[in-house]
Structure 1
């Protein structure tokens, strides 16, 4: 029979365990000492950079180059923060995640990218870190240097306390922006994508109306006018012209239906994604198997994005894939709507391949969605899209 003493330190129910005692001079202590000695040169460089950036950028804000210089300085401050996080990770064991990169590549015009860079909270916090650290860097350097000579026994404890202050500063000022700041930056970028996409859609609709149905209706009006003039003197020719006009009316109606389907098809509104995607698949030149497994219908906006995503992907399959078969699967997982479109074609599709994949990815990203393309040379090509599930009833009630 084995007895366990409850009075032994660090034993019992597990709630009174003490951390292991570190020896005064171990590898951790020496790394902390090295970090504190490096504080002076590092903080001097950071201070000079921050003051120069603020002084030059602030003084030149009255000119055209001032704000761009300040934006570049903030981007450079991000890199200084990255180096400081790496130093703290290596010497202090502080693991701070890297901030989300600014989505400048997806933003609208140059002015919008400039404004996003100027409002970057990560860059501004890094400049603040570099400014306030100069007196601290001098203090820690002098304290450790003197302690190496006259306070040798107390140095490990001094180094540990000073290093803990450094850890607090790194976590407080060099940690990533909170989720709200990150989401604001992403939404500001995505707003430009939505505006650009809407403008492009309006231009496409205007062009289709002008070149298609409008031109046919103009010709129809002219043809009917000529038929009216010939109605009495040459009724046979007038009848032929009326018959041609009837054909033009049918073509104009078909073009208007196609245009309306491109804006928002009636079958999607009336019967949902299953029927709408089946209709799109029937027009694809490749046999397509459609499987839609949804307990109910999502919000109209999400439903429309899902429809047009699949529609464009199937058009790409018809034009570029050389596939013999394809499949479309749609289902819901928790609060996300998932779409997977697959074909057995030649593969090799890329986001920058001129097939509209980048536009699809940007559209989905604008509504907090995801777009993943897997298309090795030789195939198969698998596109997985993910959208937030928004309840139709909740959207209707809020509207």
Structure 2
């Protein structure tokens, strides 16, 4: 028996699992690569169909709302009906959704094409759950590290290729068709080569929860309880996370539309900028851990990261050219990476140990709500000025920095009291 009560695996099963694991690495990459193909041109296509920035934001909000509602339902169905069947359904309707997007000739049809994507685009989450089913507890950290790393490469390469394809005749249609074909290819692979995991009813151990609970689970009751605890112990923990998340998602919302309005960016240039941002975020994330160790004072580092974010976004607003924009964008990526780590660690340190899981779940819920609401607000602000989302992001970042500064002052007071004692 292994750590979760499973019988030892036979050599044939081990080879089959290795084949499936390697294949899921590849298709995890292709999934994000396919989605990233269409990112540089999705908002542009909506505007070509006559949508205003506010309408583009509304499409994003409707999509985010559908994702938020459908995630726990699809996750529950995968528990009951099986990972393989659920993955097949998601891949099929995702493929159909992208074909419909490519064929849309009005903003209404474009919005309707996004509906199946909003409901069924959960293939990466189901893949992670499937991996948790077939991977022993001792190997999960390594397997998921590889999966996340390989998948993220797709988000770096995809925008580059998508931007170039979009410059061709009927570019959006071709990009949509290729995206659909990639999901159809994955559908055929699952149909022919993947079976339901042998050990259904996976024990609900902590290692399983670490890798699957945050994918689909609706943690309303535990989040509500934790929210009450946060309000009692210090409401700034919640509001810091909310303001930071809202600021980040507002800036990213309608991002491609902002580039087109500000710099008259083509799909090729937009794709390169998005790829640069993804690469910058990955590089900054690698060095955050070492920076935290060097700095030692977490609240102060958090305050400096928030200040860097404000400085970077202000420079972005006034950036006169794309090269200067990229320099500022890198600084923003650095500030975002450090702020995310500091926010999570500070929440864990200030909260109760037994509430850590629920606290992280609440943070994820906050980000989900921010991602759902921010596209519409960004779109409305963009009706006033192309820098509208960035200006709102600066305002929220200033609020975040103010609350973090309060935490720094409290930290100093506690330190002074300890020295006196």
TM-score range, shorter chain: under 0.3
Structure with higher Rg: it is 1
Structure 2 length normalisation: TM-score? 0.19
Structure with the bigger RCO (C-alpha within 8 Å, sep 6+) is 2
Q: Relative to total residues, which structure has the larger helix share, 1 or 2? A: 2
